[in-house]
Amino acid sequence: MNFRPGGRRTVVLMSVRKGAPYADRLEDDGRVLIYEGHDEPRTADTPDPKSLDQPEYTRHGRLNQNGQFSRAARLHRE
Q: What pLDDT is stored for residue 35 in this prediction?
A: 80
Its pTM surpasses 0.75: no
Q: Which residues contact 49 (CB under 8 A, 6 or more apart)?
A: 39, 40, 41, 42
pLDDT tens digits for range 15-49: 878 888 888 888 999 888 888 877 888 889 888 88
